[in-house]
C-alpha cells in the first residue's frame, strides 16, 4: 500500500496552478467534470478502449482530455503519466470497483479523500463496527440463519449495486435461495421508507456546522430505484410470486429526488457528525462526500443499513443544486463541492489535508 | 380569542420599515427564512431550549436572530418581546401543533393569514362542510362502521402527519383495529394516485388568475412519502401481512416532486377557486398558501381527501422554484411568496388585509 | 394528404421575421409557449370555445394570442388564418389526438417535425417493425392468447394515455377481461423499473453527439405516474383484488423526475441513434423530440415497450432544465429546444429541413 508520505512527494512535484481533476468515465463523472470546470480545473476522463461518445452530447461535462487505457489495471502502471498532468483522482463507486479496492490502495497518485476509508467501508463487519461504535442505530443482524423469524435481507459480501441481495421470511426460504458457496450477512428488513443522505465533510472549512475540526454539510437526499423490487407488486405479492419462482431483486437502476421532514434534520446532522468523529478516531477521518443509507420508520426512527464513504450516484440528480445545497450556495453539485474543496485547500496551502 | 382589532393595534405600533418574519424552527422554516431574506426582511427563529445547530449548515436560511423559549407556551407570554421586534408570525403545521390551535388563537402577534381558518381546517366535519359546500368532490364518508364493505381509511380526530390512520376492508377488520376511546372518521379509500397541490391565494394582487377579489396561483405539487405504506409491499400484501399483525401505516416522512397532466389544470384551478370563494363566505377568507390533498382516479376525477390551510412541508422541495412557479417568476418558493405578499401589502398599505 | 411541396409553398409566403409558434392549449403547451417566448417568438394558443383561464396564473407561459375554434376540426378549415399569422405548428400528443391523426396529415400549415412519423408511431405493428429492424430489444409479443403463460400486458389499438391497458396472467384471465370487439396486442410484461427517455434529434445541428447527419441529445428522463396501478398495492395484491373484481389500470395522471445509472448512457445513446438512423431509411427521418419508453431489468437490459415521436408530457417536469439538459445549456426545456431549433433553422436558411 502506498504511504501518505509517498503521495505527498508526488504532490510536491505538481504544478499547483495547473492541477487536473481526473476520474473514470462512469458513475458520477458528468457532475465531477462539470463541477471541476466550474471551479476552473482542467479535467481528464479515464476510459477503456476509446472515449465514450456520449460526452459529446453534454458539452459542459465533456472532459478536456481523455486518458485511454487498455484495461483499468493499466491506470496503476501508467500513473506517472497522470502525475505529469498534475492529476488529482476523484474516486467513485465504479472507479474503485473496476480497479479493485486492493489496487486502488496502491495507486501512485494523489486521490481526493482518505483512501483508508475503503477498508472500513468495503467490509460489512468493519463498517458495522464503525457505525455502531459511533452510536448509529442499524438494522439488527443475526448470525444463525435458523433464527430467521421475520423478514430479513440477505446480502452477499462485495455485492455491488444491489445485485445479490434478497429477502427471506424464514429458514426454509433461506435454504431455498442461499448459495452456500458465498459469504453473506443476515440483516433485519426494517419496514419504512428509504432515504439516502448525501453529506460532505470538510476538514478545512471553518464556517458552518462545526465538528471537532472542520464542518459538515448536507447536499441532498435521494431514493434509489431498484429493479425489479420497485414495480414487481404490479403483478403479484412476494408470496404469490414465489410460487412461480419470481423473486424481488434489488439492482440499482437509477435515483429519484426526495426530501425529508425538516424536524428530522437535527437527528440527521447528529448522525453525520458521529460518523465523522468516529472515523477520525478510527483511521484519521473520512474526507469529502459520504452517504448514510437509511430507513425512516413510522415512529420516525432512522436506521442506517449502509454507508458509502465517497460520492454516490444519487447526487447525479442535483447537478444544478438540490433543495438543500441551494441553501448553502447556488448551483452546487457534489461534484462541484469536491472541486471547490480542492481549490480551497490549494489556496489555503492545505492540499495534504484533503488528499491521500 | 384575540380580535382583529387588537392585532391591528399591535401592528399600529410596528416600525413598518423593520418588520421581521418569525416562525418556529421546524417544518418549512428553512424556506420561510430564506424567502424572507430574499425579500429583504430580518428573520427570527423561535426555538425551545437552544438554537438548533443545523441552521449553521444552511447559511442562506439561518435566521438573523433566535428567540429561545423554555417551551412553546412561552411564546404566548413573551409575545410582547416579539412585538417589540416588529415580528409577523408565519404559522406552519408544526407551529400550530406545538403551540396548540387553541393557544394559537390567543397569540398577541400579527400572524400571516386568517387565523379563523384554523377552526375550519382542524375539525374534520367543518372542513368537509366547507369543501362540499364549495362543490368539491370528496371520498364518501360513512357513519356506521357496520356499513364498511370496501376499503376504508379510518382517521382519528387530530391525527397529525398521518399517525393514527389505517385502512380496513370490512367491519371485522375495523373491530379488530379500532381504539374505541378515540373519535374517528370513516372515509372511502379512493383508488388512484395522490397529488398534493400547493396553491397561493392573494387577496391584494391584481394581475393573474382573478377571483372575486384577488388572485390564485399554483406554486407546486408533491406526493407525500408515507412510512411504512410506501414500501411495505416489498415484504407482502396487506392480507398476507395482516396474518402476522403487520399493518401499513401512513406517517409522513418526506416528500417527492411530481407534476400532473396539463389537461387537468382547468379543473385544479377551478377547485382552488371554489374553495377560496367559499372560505370568503364562511369566515372572511383564507389568505396565502393552502394545499388540496387529492387522489386522481383512472377516470381522471380528482377527489379531495383533506385541506391544509397554510404552508405544507411538500413545498420544501421547491426552495428554488418548481416547474409551476418557474412560470410565474424565477426562484419562487412558497416561503418567498409569503414574504413577497407581506412586502407587497406593506407597500400598498394593505397589511391588515393579509394578517390577523 | 398534404405534400411537402405544398407546405413549402405556404412557408414561402411567410414573413420569416415574425414567425409565430402555435399549438393546442394542453399537454405540454406551457413549456412550448414559455420556450418559444424565450427564443423570441410570438405564440398562439389554439383552444376550443374560450381561452383557458389557467394561463393567467402562469404569465411566462401565457400565449400572446388565442386562436379560438368551435371544435378542433375547425383548425383544418381555418388554417389559412393561422398561415397569415406565420404560424408554425408544434404537434403534441393531445393536438394529434384531438384533431385526429388522419386530419393532422391534411393540415395546411408548416408543422415542426416530419408528419410521416405519425403513421409509423400510431400503428403498433409498424412501430414494432421500425424499432426491431433498428436493433432495439422489445418485450416479446405473442399472437395467440392461448399461449399466455406469464404476465402479459394487453393493449387495445389506439388506446391513449394508458386507458385500455391491462395485465393478465393466463388465458382464463384473458377471456374474462377482453372485449372481443376491439383490436389488441399481447405483450410480455417485463419485470423491472420504467424509464422514459426524452431525446432530441436535430438534422441541422453540427456540434454534439453526431449521427450520420445531425446530432442527438438527451434532455431528460421521467417516470409516468399511472392510476391506479401505482398505489393499488396499498389495499391488496392483484390476485386478492381480482376476487373483488378490482383491477390495476394504467391511466397516466402525471410524471415524476428520475435519473438513470450513468453507466447505461452509452446504451441509451446507442438506442436513440439506431432509432433515428432507421427512421431516416424508412420515412426520411424523425425530427425533434422523441421518447423511448423502457423497462430496465435487473440485469441492466433496456427493453423498449413504446416510442413517442414527438414531445411527451414527461418533459413538463423540466421547464427550467433537467440534470441532463443542464449539461447542454442552462434553462433548456424541450419546449425551448424546439423553438431554438426553429430559430437556428431560420438563421441557417434551413427551415424546410425541420418542418413538414
CA distance A251 to A229: 8
pLDDT class for C356, splitting at 50, 70, 90?
very high
Q: Which residue has the higher pLDDT, C156 or C21?
A: C21
What is the side-by-side strand order in the sheet with C65-69?
A: C65-69, C42-48, C20-24, C87-89
Q: Which residue has the higher pLDDT, B234 or A50?
A: A50
CB contact under 8 A, C59 and B327: yes
pLDDT class for B110, splitting at 50, 70, 90?
very high
C91-100, C239-248, C281-290: the lowest-pLDDT one? C239-248
Instruction: Quote the mean pLDDT of chain B.
Output: 95
CB contact under 8 A, C216 and A240: no
Below-70 pLDDT ranges, chain A:
159-161
- The reported pLDDT for the residue numbered A61 is 98
Mean pLDDT computed over C55-77: 97
- The reported pLDDT for the residue numbered B160 is 66
Answer whether residue C164 shows pLDDT above 80: no
CB contact under 8 A, A237 and B234: no
In C4-123, alpha helices (H): 4-12, 29-38, 74-77, 79-84, 93-99, 101-104, 117-122
Q: Do the bridges between strand B259-260 and strand C250-257 make them parallel or antiparallel, or are there none, so unpaired?
A: antiparallel
Residues of C in contact with B151 (CB under 8 A): 235
Q: Are B4 and B307 in contact (CB under 8 A)?
A: no
Count other Cβ atoms within 10 Å, centred on residue B1. Answer: 11
- The reported pLDDT for the residue numbered B234 is 87
Answer whether residue B162 shows pLDDT above 80: no
- The reported pLDDT for the residue numbered A159 is 66
- The reported pLDDT for the residue numbered A101 is 87
pLDDT class for B1, splitting at 50, 70, 90?
confident
Instruction: Please tell me the pTM assigned to this model.
Output: 0.96
Residues of A in contact with B56 (CB under 8 A): 208-210, 215
Cell numbers representing residue C156 in the block: 387495445
Burial of A84 per CB tally in 10 Å (0-12, 13-18, 19+): exposed
CB contact under 8 A, A239 and B234: no
* DSSP category for residue C204: S
* Domains of chain C in sequence order: 1-111 (3.40.50.20), 114-137+190-228+251-356 (3.30.470.20)
A243 contact partners, CB below 8 Å, separation of at least 6: none
Q: Give tens-digit pLDDT for C315-334.
A: 999 999 999 999 999 999 99
Q: Which residue has the higher pLDDT, B312 or B242?
A: B312
Residue B129 parent element (H or E): helix B124-133
Decide if the complex's ipTM is over 0.85: yes
B260 contact partners, CB below 8 Å, separation of at least 6: B195, B197, B221, B268, B296, C253, C254
Q: Looking at the partner chain, which of B234, B249, B253 has a beta carbon nearest the beta carbon of A167? A: B234
Q: Give tens-digit pLDDT for B42-86.
A: 999 999 999 999 999 999 999 999 999 999 999 999 999 999 999
Cell numbers representing residue B265 in the block: 389544470
Burial of B180 per CB tally in 10 Å (0-12, 13-18, 19+): exposed
Q: Looking at the partner chain, which of B257, B262, B328 has a beta carbon nearest the beta carbon of C27? A: B262
CA distance C155 to A139: 43
Chains in contact with B, where contact means 3 or more Cβ–Cβ distances below 8 Å, are A, C
pLDDT class for C160, splitting at 50, 70, 90?
low
CA distance B301 to B261: 12
Residues of B in contact with A326 (CB under 8 A): 60, 319-320
Count other Cβ atoms within 10 Å, centred on residue C123. Answer: 15
Shortest alpha-carbon distance between residue A178 and chain C (Å): 18
Answer whether residue B167 shows pLDDT above 90: no
Is residue B55 classed as helix, strand or coil in its secondary structure?
helix
Answer whether residue C161 shows pLDDT above 70: no
Choose, out of C222, C243, C324, C327, the residue to mutate when testing the contact with A (most A CBs < 10 Å). Answer: C327
CA distance B167 to B346: 47
- The reported pLDDT for the residue numbered B122 is 82
Q: What angle do CA C296, C300, C301 make, to 5 degrees?
A: 70
CB contact under 8 A, A58 and C324: yes
Is residue B143 classed as helix, strand or coil in its secondary structure?
coil
Residues of C in contact with B194 (CB under 8 A): 231
Q: Per this entry, what is the length of chain B?
A: 356
CB contact under 8 A, A319 and C327: yes
Q: Give tens-digit pLDDT for C191-237.
A: 999 999 999 999 999 999 999 999 999 999 999 999 999 999 888 88
CA distance C74 to B285: 42
CB contact under 8 A, A261 and B240: no
Q: Which residue has the higher pLDDT, A164 or B101?
A: B101
Count CB pairs under 8 A between chains A and B. 135
- The percentage of chain C sitting over the pLDDT mark of 70, rounded to a whole number, equals 99
Amino acid at each position: 500500500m502506498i504511504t501518505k508520505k509517498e503521495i505527498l512527494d508526488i504532490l510536491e512535484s505538481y504544478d499547483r496552478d495547473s492541477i487536473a481533476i481526473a476520474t473514470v468515465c462512469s458513475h458520477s463523472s458528468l457532475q465531477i467534470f462539470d463541477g471541476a470546470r466550474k471551479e476552473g480545473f482542467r479535467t481528464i476522463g479515464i476510459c477503456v478502449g476509446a472515449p465514450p461518445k456520449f460526452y459529446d452530447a453534454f458539452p459542459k461535462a465533456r472532459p478536456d482530455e481523455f486518458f485511454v487505457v487498455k484495461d483499468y489495471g493499466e491506470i496503476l502502471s501508467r500513473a506517472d503519466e497522470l502525475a505529469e498532468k498534475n492529476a488529482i483522482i476523484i474516486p467513485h463507486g465504479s472507479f474503485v470497483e473496476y480497479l479493485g479496492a486492493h489496487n486502488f490502495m496502491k495507486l501512485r497518485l494523489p486521490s481526493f479523500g482518505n483512501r483508508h476509508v475503503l477498508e472500513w467501508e468495503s467490509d460489512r463487519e468493519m463498517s458495522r463496527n464503525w457505525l455502531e461504535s459511533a452510536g448509529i442505530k442499524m438494522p439488527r443482524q443475526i448470525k444463525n440463519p435458523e433464527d430467521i423469524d421475520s423478514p430479513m435481507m440477505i446480502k452477499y459480501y462485495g455485492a455491488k449495486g444491489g445485485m445479490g441481495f434478497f429477502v427471506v421470511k424464514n429458514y426454509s426460504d433461506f435454504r431455498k435461495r442461499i448459495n452456500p458457496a458465498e459469504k453473506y450477512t443476515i440483516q433485519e428488513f426494517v419496514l419504512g421508507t428509504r432515504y439516502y443522505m448525501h453529506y460532505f465533510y470538510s476538514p478545512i472549512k471553518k464556517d458552518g456546522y462545526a465538528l471537532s475540526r472542520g464542518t459538515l454539510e448536507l447536499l441532498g437526499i435521494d431514493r434509489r430505484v431498484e429493479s425489479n423490487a420497485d414495480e414487481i407488486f404490479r403483478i403479484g405479492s412476494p408470496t404469490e410470486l414465489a410460487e412461480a419462482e419470481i423473486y424481488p431483486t434489488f439492482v440499482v437502476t437509477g435515483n429519484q429526488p426526495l426530501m425529508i421532514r425538516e424536524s428530522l434534520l437535527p437527528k440527521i446532522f447528529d448522525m453525520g457528525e458521529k460518523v465523522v468523529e468516529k472515523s477520525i478516531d478510527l483511521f484519521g477521518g473520512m474526507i469529502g462526500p459520504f452517504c448514510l443509507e437509511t430507513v425512516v420508520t413510522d415512529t420516525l426512527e432512522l436506521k442506517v443499513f449502509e454507508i458509502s464513504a465517497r460520492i454516490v450516484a444519487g447526487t447525479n440528480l442535483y447537478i444544478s443544486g438540490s433543495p438543500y445545497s441551494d441553501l448553502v450556495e447556488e448551483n452546487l453539485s457534489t461534484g462541484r463541492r469536491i472541486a471547490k474543496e480542492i481549490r480551497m485547500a490549494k489556496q489555503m496551502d492545505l492540499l495534504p489535508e484533503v488528499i491521500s
